Amino acid sequence: MHEHLKESRYRHSLGVEEMAVRLAGLHGADAEKAAFAGRYHDIAKNMDIPEMDAQIRKYGLPEHLLGNNALAHSKVGAAILEHEFGVKDADILNAVRYHTTARKGMSLLEELIFVADVVEDNRTYSDLDYYQQLAYSDLDRACYEILEYTIGDLKGKNREIDTDTLEARDWVLQRIKEKNNGK
Ligand code: DGI
Ligand code: FE
Ligand code: FE
């Protein structure tokens, strides 16, 4: 089942599975769905560009994904899980589909996989502990800070920012503000 995954990617996938289950427990999501989506979210990550492009065409995915493995692997991964592995659960498929960009209106499971991907235990960046604690205590805040960081990083590298990423940031910020007003 993990033929497309290299060893390090496999370890990352198990790390996301574990973190997703932890976050599901803390924030009241379905732990089994979190585990499955976490384990398989990067199923298409290690495809080379020609293979990825062939999958994009095969599944009729948007042309702008061609040649862009960073954005394509989540969409292709969801298509493989749906059509090759017979996964029917829409929330699991969307959690995989939007794990790189997030999106406005994302479900709890989608948000949790988006965050777990970045804060799993095998990540090595210096602020990992800060982001993990934030993910445990305030999932929306963690999601927002990750999106802000990603957008700033992509801007700095002059890379195109997906509309879903920008809309997700605005949407989650709005939700944080509304929550604070209610207190
Ligand atoms: O697959 P992982 O490495 O575990 O993590 P990921 O699926 O979040 O992929 C991260 C890559 O995706 C990283 O290089 C940043 C990139 N990315 C995230 N949002 C966007 C993006 N790239 C583009 N071009 N546009 C985005 O909005
Ligand atoms: Fe990924
Ligand atoms: Fe990942």
Write the pLDDT tens digit of every residue in 11-35.
999 999 999 999 999 999 999 999 9
Q: What is the pLDDT of residue 9?
A: 87
Question: Taking Cα atoms as reference points, which of 76, 36, 74 lies closest to residue 56?
Answer: 76
Position 130 confidence tier, pLDDT thresholds 50, 70, 90: very high
3-state secondary structure (DSSP) of residue 114: helix
Segment (H or E) for 75: helix 69-83
Tell me: pLDDT of 1 over 60.
Answer: no
- Number of domains comprising the chain: 1
Q: Both ends of the chain: CA-CA distance in Å? A: 46
More confident residue, 133 or 6: 133
| Separation of alpha carbons 106 and 84, rounded Å | 25
Question: Taking Cα atoms as reference points, which of 89, 81, 164, 150 lies closest to residue 115?
Answer: 150
Choose the residue to mutate in 73, 147, 150, 163 for probing ligand 1, maximizing ligand atoms within 8 Å of C-beta. Answer: 150
Q: Which atom of ligand 1 is nearest to the CA of 164?
A: 27
More confident residue, 98 or 3: 98
Ligand 1 in reach of 13 Cβ (< 6 A) = no
Tell me which residue range forms the domain holding 126.
2-181
- Note the ligand closest to the C-alpha atom of 100: 1
For range 138-145, the mean pLDDT: 98
Ligand 1 in reach of 46 Cβ (< 6 A) = no
Which CATH number goes with the domain that contains 88? 1.10.3210.10
Choose the residue to mutate in 97, 100, 123, 149 for probing ligand 1, maximizing ligand atoms within 8 Å of C-beta. Answer: 100
Establish how many alpha carbons lie within 13 A of residue 61's alpha carbon, considering only the half-sphere containing its beta carbon: 25
Q: What is the pLDDT of residue 183?
A: 63
Largest CA distance in the chain: 52
